[in-house]
Every structure is written in structure tokens, then in C-alpha cells.
Structure 1
């Protein structure tokens, strides 16, 4: 049986976000092994770097999808024109099954009616917070139109039970059509020696002690309340040493906005905005933290919670969306809209060594439930179930 997987979204900006991280890890595991009854066709852009990144079986192959230029939001109106390339590739490869890991970055992409198709939906955050995510009605209409096609698909993969619940409720998809496949934890996230931690912290001008968070400028990351809770904690404890480290990658305007907020709170000198952090350095930054703070308003999954736990760091996260699923009994939960509750959770962990020790131990145990091998195996089973249906 022939399976086609569209990898092009991994070569757009999405490939550098959590969505890309999830897919690259699953597909690396999936393609490592030969599957005697399955042949994979992997669709990429011309001159794709993924050909060097993925090791594939003898019966599998990369196939370039022609493109005149890189997909851009302003070119959405040309979708019907570019679809000729897409339909031509599908006609020439004739897959029995098609997997579309992301349907928003590669705009000239339609869901075929004559091929069994699986799509992955990570969350529907823009539909939950439309005022914060859509610049205008045209953008919202386009987004909703993409989802209008999903009734054609054979199966939807999503990354948490919370996302599945939203997909069923808001997109009106039958429950049996949606499968949950959690992500895993990269082996680099582990306890590492103090000397290495110190070396990396010096590289980013981070000093002990510090609270760590990972964030983007997106509304659902809840950064204003994180800033406020940190300020209230250091004032209430008269703490002149603790800092807040924010691992992030910001545009110039986004950085200006955050620095404005920090100046208004008078904590600019107590907060480190790392901007770009190399992948291999992140584990050390986790390791050095006193606590990991991740009180998002919403997450599709929230892998940083697991990464922090694997590095031996106690976690404070939200009692909302998927975060209780990913945190299990290893995290401290707060109402993400309640700054006082976030501040009190910080205080409780930093001032109670016994609690901190228990949370670290529980976190380690909880992470054992998640792996990329398991995720790849579950993805393969979805393929096989759809092919046999």
C-alpha cells in the first residue's frame, strides 16, 4: 500500500515551532524502520533539506512538489492556480492514503475527495480567541474555510484529549473520527552536570536563582500575568536576587512591547529575555531553574511541561485545556487568570523543600509515559486502520 505524507509545512516557519518539532520527531521514528507492506512518498519543496535530515527505508522516496515561489499569506487568492501542481503530484503518485500534518502553511493545498486522507489538528486556539488572533474578517473567513474541508477526511489526529473535545464541539466532527496521539520527550532533556549548566548560563548571561518560562508573544501564553505574578512575589518577599528568565524568539516590535511592559512594572533589570536559544542549550537552562512557570490560557499539548520535569525542575502550570493531561500528578496547578494564585504557587514551591523534592520525583515518573517511539507506533496504527477500513 502507498502512503503519501506532505512534509512541506516542516520547511516553512511552522517547522521551527512546536508543530514542526512534534512532526519531525514522529516522522524520524516512523521512517527509521522499514514497513514491508507500506511504501512512503514524502512530498517536499524542491531542493529540500529534509532529504538529509530524514533516514528512509529502501521502498520509500522523496518527491518534490513544484512551486514558483514560497507560500505567503498575501498569495492565498492564488490557491486555485497553484492547486494544479498539487493535483498533478497526487495523480502521478496515486497514494492509497494521504497524511497532511498541517493545512495552513502550504496554502495551495486541497483535501482530495478520491483519496483516504488523514489530517493533524493541534489546536483550534484562533477559534477560541478570535478577537486576539484574527486581524480582520477576511483572515478569519479564510481560516474557517480551511476547516470547512475537513469533513472529507477519514481521520483526524490531534495531540490531547482537550483538543479532541474542542474539535468535536466546535468543528462538529464525530468523536470516532478523532484520534489522540501525545508527543514525546527528546533524550537531550535530562539531568546534566553542574559545570555544563554554569557554562550555558554564562553564555546567556543568566544568574542563579531564577524562575524559568518559555513563551512566544501569542496571547494564549499569558505573559503579562507571568510578569505581574513575578513582580508581586519579589515585592512580597523583599527578594532582591531572584530573576525571571524568558526563553523566547521575538521580532523587534514584540521585544519592544515586552520591554515596555517590564519598564511599566519596574522589573526590567530582573527579567532576562533570551531571544534565540540553541536547541542543545535549552536542557541546561531548564536544569538551572528553581521552578518552571507555564500558566498558559490554552495549549494544544504543552511539551515544555514534560521537558522541565525530565530535567528535574518542579512545574507550575494551568488547570486549563490540555495542561492537566500533560502534567499529571507531577505539577502544581493554578488558575491562569489569577495572578495571586500564580504568585502563591511560586512561594509554596520555593519555600518548601520537601514539596519541591516530591514534585521532582513525581515529574520524573510521569515523563516515562511519553515517548516519540510510542507516538510513531500509534501514528502507524492510525494509517493501518484507515487503510483497512
Structure 2
């Protein structure tokens, strides 16, 4: 098979959608190496966290389209000569180029419809643009894939798609989180970032939807340290003001610029992973924590129980006292942490590479 992928996020996004794209392409290549894989990248850039890039053909815009790369992704890809050779085109993040030849089977992955669920988090223009692209994609795709049952339900509700037209294929996480690192390597990372022996970890962009503020409030009176790893936004300002006003500067550590392997080390060093997000399409950090053997506390609604499994602890993300009690309980019960870690790692095996690759290969073959 010749399979083309929308590779914008793969090349240019170091977090959620980028990780999903890199991981999917990596495992498909690993288990089905005889296919031809073409990555359509609107702007030249080395692939972050992705060592296998020499095994793929990468297509970028030429001439005037180099400057109009944002238009090329929607209108230019279909005109590239390589698309005529494709059997399948896979839009990895909710979009399909306009004008692809009819003989090409088209697949689209929908991650979430947060712009519909929480419109106040987006500008009016962004909401309209996202909806238009997503609507075109589901209307022209031969296969629609949701990354969770929660996202499938949202596609039905907001894009008016019949549920039988949507398939759920879960996502996994990078191999780095599945490795067992030596004590020496872990200690090197601990010393580099000046991390304490015991800490609560949270990973993700520090924005309103991720709800880190309530996590900071929850740990204010607990004898522990909170480590927040992620890009700061304007939302971070209010968190930093709260930290200063309550004199807890020594209890909260902000980290950015962490490499993938260092992030994997920090997951394994963490005592607890706390993820009281308001809403996600899936929540890859939960899977990363489970594979790392770190007990998880997360939100009790939406997709979170789907990702966290039966042995994580679930809380009301708006109830800081409840978050506080859950963290305190785990910090004081080492046996419970060990049991949760063991059972969580077992549950995470449903998101293993081979199984996910097989689901995708079966879908591609069925389309042809």
C-alpha cells in the first residue's frame, strides 16, 4: 500500500497531536514495513522525537506555495503529483485536503470537538474554521476514526454523523515511557531539574482546560511538591500570583524544555500523577503515567475513566478538597500506590503498539 499522511502536526507540534501523529506513523512503519509512507509537511523541519525519519518520503511545497504553506495543506496537496500514486490518504488531525482524486481512500482521525463543547475557549473565527474543516472531512472521508468513545459520541452530536460510520481506535504512547531506566539515569535527571525525592506530577499545556490552578490549590496545605511540566499561557499568570500570595513558591516547580527521555524519567520518579483536566479527547499523559508505573488521580467524567481504567482514583476536577484528600491518601499509603501502579500498567497493555498497528492495518486493508 502507498499511504500518505497529513504531517503538519508530526513535524511542528511537540505535544498532543504531534505525539499522536509521530507514534501512529512509527508503529505502522514498524509492524508493516513493506508499505510506502509519504509525509506531507507544509514547512521544512526536522522531526522532533522521531529517529526513523530517513525511512519516509517527505513532500513539501514548492515555489510560491512555500510562502503560502497554510493554503498548500488544504488546496495544494491534492495537486502534488505524488498523490496520484496513493492508495490511502490519512488526515491525522481532523482535516482532509480539498480535491483529492476520488480513487484515493480517505481516512480522518478526529481527536476532540472541544471548540464545540467549550466555545468560550476559542475565538469566533477559530470555531468557524475548525467546524468547516471537520465537517468537510467527515463528509468526504471513507473512514472516520475517533480516538475514544467520548469523541465518537461528540462526533455524532456535533457533526451529525451516524454512529455506525465511526470506528474507535485508541492511541498509545511513545516507546520512551515503556522503558525501565537505571537508577543512575533517573538520578541524573532528578539532579538536573532539582527534583525532590517525593513529588506530584502534572504534564500538559498550562491552560484553563487543563485545570492546573485547582491542583495548585489542592496541594497548598500538603507536605509535598507539585511539578508542572508544560508550556505556559496567560492562564499561568493567575496561578503564579496565587503561589506568591500564599508563599508556596518552594512547593511548585514549573518545567519546560524537557526532552522526551527526560520526561519519561520524571514520570518514573514521580510519586503520583495528578491530571484533573476538565475535558480531553483522550488524555495521553494518563497512558504515559500508567506505562511508567505511576499511580494516577484524574477526573471522574468524560474520557478519563476510559483512559485511566478501573484502578486509578477519580475525583471531581472542580472540588479542590476532594483532590487534596486523594493526593494525601496516596502519599500516606505506599502499598496502595504499589498496587495501583501494578494494575495500571497491566491495564495500559490494551494500548500497546502491536494491537494499535493491527487495528490501523485492518482498516486500511478493508478500505481497499
> 1: distance between equivalents of 2:73 and 2:362?
32
1:247 matched residue in structure 2? 229
Residues 1:32 and 2:23 aligned together: no
Trace 1:223-242 onto structure 2 (pairs within 5 A).
223-231=212-220, 233-234=221-222, 239=223, 242=224
Unaligned runs of 5+ in 2: none
2:67 matched residue in structure 1? 69
> 1: distance between equivalents of 2:258 and 2:51?
23
- 1:184 is paired with a residue of what secondary structure? coil
- Please identify, of 305-314 and 42-51, the stretch whose mean Cα deviation from structure 2 is larger: 42-51
Residue by residue over 1:311-367, the C-alpha shift from the partner in whole angstroms, topping out at 9 and shown as x without a partner, is 222111111221111111231111112111111111111122332222122112112
8 Å Cα contact 2:214/2:320 also seen in 1: yes
> 2: distance between equivalents of 1:264 and 1:312?
35
> 1: distance between equivalents of 2:236 and 2:213?
13
- 1:329 is paired with a residue of what secondary structure? coil
- 1:224 is paired with a residue of what secondary structure? helix
1:182 matched residue in structure 2? 170
2:78 matched residue in structure 1? 87
Trace 1:1-389 onto structure 2 (pairs within 5 A).
2-12=2-12, 15-33=13-31, 39-45=36-42, 47=44, 49=46, 53-54=52-53, 56=55, 61-66=57-62, 67-69=65-67, 71=69, 79=71, 85-89=76-80, 93-103=84-94, 109-110=97-98, 112=100, 114=102, 115-131=104-120, 133-135=121-123, 137-149=124-136, 150-189=138-177, 190-231=179-220, 233-234=221-222, 239=223, 242-250=224-232, 253=234, 255-387=236-368
> 1: distance between equivalents of 2:184 and 2:360?
39
- C-alpha RMSD of matched pairs (Å): 2.7
Distance 1:52 1:214, change over 3 A: closer
- 2:111 is paired with a residue of what secondary structure? coil
8 Å Cα contact 1:26/1:373 also seen in 2: no
> 2: distance between equivalents of 1:266 and 1:323?
32
Deviation of residue 200 (structure 1)? Answer: 0.7
Distance 1:376 1:256, change over 3 A: same
- 2:253 is paired with a residue of what secondary structure? strand
Distance 1:327 1:92, change over 3 A: closer
8 Å Cα contact 1:28/1:55 also seen in 2: no
> 1: distance between equivalents of 2:86 and 2:153?
30
Residue by residue over 1:217-275, the C-alpha shift from the partner in whole angstroms, topping out at 9 and shown as x without a partner, is 232211111111111x42xxxx3xx2111111226x56544322322343222100012
- 2:310 is paired with a residue of what secondary structure? helix
